[in-house]
């Protein structure tokens, strides 16, 4: 037999086809030896991981104990891949061992492949429906009931129980008032001046529920409430509420409200609302004349004279 020739034996183990190659005259490091190799031929399983070839020389007569088992391990990925050569025994060792009988040696081999763990499957992968959140309703009920309230606001003779922690999470102004340097001056009762009772109530409702149902009313009522709520939101730094009011007012600009809304936008740094008002006022000569004749324009001229110059520029640009 030539040095590189092998004796081949095919096996099936754990759903894979294998070939064990025995090289009786292998040359390993210039040393004649008996060597074995495991070759992956493929199989029915989708993937293959590790496999081991174990082997030992035995005496069929049982007179000599088997040799120490040797093994080689490899991770196989595709057919025709093979392990490294496993040196079983040198030819010199084999000749002196007593295992060689009539130039025949018996080798016991084992192929070990880890069992593939079953992948759990779910017949129906559709997710079940999750109810929509109702936290705003729960917090709204907490505000309505006053359970656990630790502060009471007095607004125009009306009392509003509330919770300092919730207010402080939503408003940095309340945070400073209740837990900052101002906390020593703040008792369990706080009087709120310069704010309408309905406006304060709507603001509290927003703080607890993140909703403003008061802005879903008729046009005139919405515009008035939105203006007052915008002032309150700016006062307590409720940025989201301020943006909601600004958006509502932007879509409800009329001849009667344009000037007062423009003054409000100027005083509370609402740049988008200010631009919308100016755009509406100078949109046509008729609208401009109508706005100039309103009481709101007189208020605008008295409180925000600089805005008139901006209006003039917008009008000239329009023309």
Find the mean pLDDT for residues 212-230: 83
* pLDDT score for 8: 92
Domains, the chain: 7-112 (2.60.210.10), 135-318 (3.30.710.10)
* 61 φ/ψ angles, rounded to the nearest 5 degrees: -80, -15
- In whole angstroms, give the CA distance from residue 33 to residue 86: 10
DSSP codes, 245-313: HHHHHHTT--TTTHHHHHHHHHHTT-HHHHHHHHHHHTSSHHHHHHHHTSHHHHHHHHH-HHHHHHHHH
What pTM does this model have?
0.58
* pLDDT score for 198: 94
- In whole angstroms, give the CA distance from residue 13 to residue 15: 6
Q: Which residues contact 247 (CB under 8 A, 6 or more apart)?
A: none
pLDDT tens column, 168-213: 999 999 999 999 876 656 678 999 999 999 999 999 999 999 999 8
- Strand 189-191 versus strand 151-155 pairing type: parallel
Do 245 and 253 touch, CB atoms closer than 8 A?
A: no
* pLDDT score for 122: 62
Q: Compute CA 283 distance to the chain's CA centroid, rounded to the nearest angstrom.
A: 45
Find the mean pLDDT for residues 126-136: 84
Q: Which residues contact 311 (CB under 8 A, 6 or more apart)?
A: 278, 281, 282
């Amino acid at each position: 037999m030539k040095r590189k020739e092998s004796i081949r034996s095919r096996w099936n183990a754990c759903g894979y086809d294998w070939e064990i190659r025995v090289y009786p005259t292998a040359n390993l490091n210039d040393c004649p030896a008996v060597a074995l190799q495991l070759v992956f031929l493929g199989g029915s399983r989708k993937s293959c991981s590790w496999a081991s070839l174990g082997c030992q020389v035995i005496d069929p007569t049982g007179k000599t104990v088997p040799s120490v088992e040797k093994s080689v391990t490899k991770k196989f990925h595709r057919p025709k891949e093979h392990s490294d050569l496993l040196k079983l025994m040198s030819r010199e060792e084999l000749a002196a061992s007593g295992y060689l009988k009539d130039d025949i040696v018996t080798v016991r081999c084992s192929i070990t492949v880890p069992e593939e763990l079953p992948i759990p499957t779910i017949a129906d992968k559709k997710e079940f429906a999750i109810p929509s959140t109702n936290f705003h309703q729960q917090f709204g009920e907490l505000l309505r009931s006053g359970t656990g309230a630790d502060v009471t606001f007095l607004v125009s003779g009306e009392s509003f129980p509330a919770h300092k922690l919730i207010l402080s999470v939503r408003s940095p102004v309340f945070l400073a008032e209740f837990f900052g340097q101002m906390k020593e001056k703040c008792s369990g009762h706080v009087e709120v001046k310069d704010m309408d009772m309905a406006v304060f109530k709507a603001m509290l409702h927003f703080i607890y529920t993140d909703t403003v149902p008061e802005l879903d009313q008729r046009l005139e009522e919405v515009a008035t409430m939105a203006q007052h709520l915008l002032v309150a939101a700016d006062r307590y730094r409720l940025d989201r509420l301020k943006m909601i009011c600004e958006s509502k007012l932007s879509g409800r600009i009329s001849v009667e409200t344009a000037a007062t809304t423009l003054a409000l936008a100027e005083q509370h740094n609402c740049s988008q609302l200010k631009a919308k008002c100016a755009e509406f006022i100078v949109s046509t000569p008729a609208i401009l004349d109508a706005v100039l004749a309103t009481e709101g324009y007189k208020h605008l001229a008295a409180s925000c004279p600089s805005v008139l110059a901006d209006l003039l520029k917008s009008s000239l640009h329009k023309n």
